[in-house]
């Protein structure tokens, strides 16, 4: 176990709705990253937060947004859901800035289905 938890485990939404996914990082980990894993593909980087500030972003539209809190919890918010948003969403925590040697510890993921 990595000590990273995510909730809920599964979620079903309809197109156009909004969703919030939650992650609890390991204590002391200042960095959290979010990834989207579509069925049969590798995870794709959405964005990263370091000490409550967005530190970097992948190729995802602004309707994907996040928050990081001082208690090592974080959220991924997705507005105006589309069918293609159906995927496994993974969060990963690491000690500091995710440098080339910093290990990211992944949670089990939230499976989002958009109908």
Partner 1 sequence: AQSVTQLDSHVSVSEGTPVLLRCNYSSSYSPSLFWYVQHPNKGLQLLLKYTSAATLVKGINGFEAEFKKSETSFHLTKPSAHMSDAAEYFCVVSGDSSYKLIFGSGTRLLVRP
Taken in order 84, 85, 89, 95, the sign of the CA dihedral is positive
Interacting residues with partner 1 between 16 and 35 (CB under 8 A): 31, 33, 35
Using the minimum distance from each CB to partner 1, give the nearer residue, 72 or 106.
106
CB of 83 to partner 1, least distance (A): 21
In this structure, what are the phi and psi dihedrals at residue 83, rounded to the nearest 5 degrees? -55, -35
Binding site for partner 1 (CB under 8 A): 2, 4, 31, 33, 35, 40-45, 48, 50, 55-56, 58, 90, 92, 97-101, 103-109
């Amino acid at each position: 176990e990595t000590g990273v938890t995510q909730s809920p485990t599964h979620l079903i939404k309809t197109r156009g709705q909004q969703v919030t996914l939650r992650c609890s990082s390991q204590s002391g980990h200042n960095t959290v990253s979010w990834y989207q894993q579509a069925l049969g593909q590798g995870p794709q980087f959405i964005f990263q937060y370091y000490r409550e500030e967005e530190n970097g972003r992948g190729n995802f539209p602004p309707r994907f947004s996040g928050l990081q809190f001082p208690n090592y919890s974080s959220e991924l918010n997705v507005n105006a859901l589309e069918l293609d948003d159906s995927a496994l969403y993974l969060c990963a925590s690491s000690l500091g800035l995710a440098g080339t040697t910093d290990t990211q510890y992944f949670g089990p993921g939230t499976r989002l289905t958009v109908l």
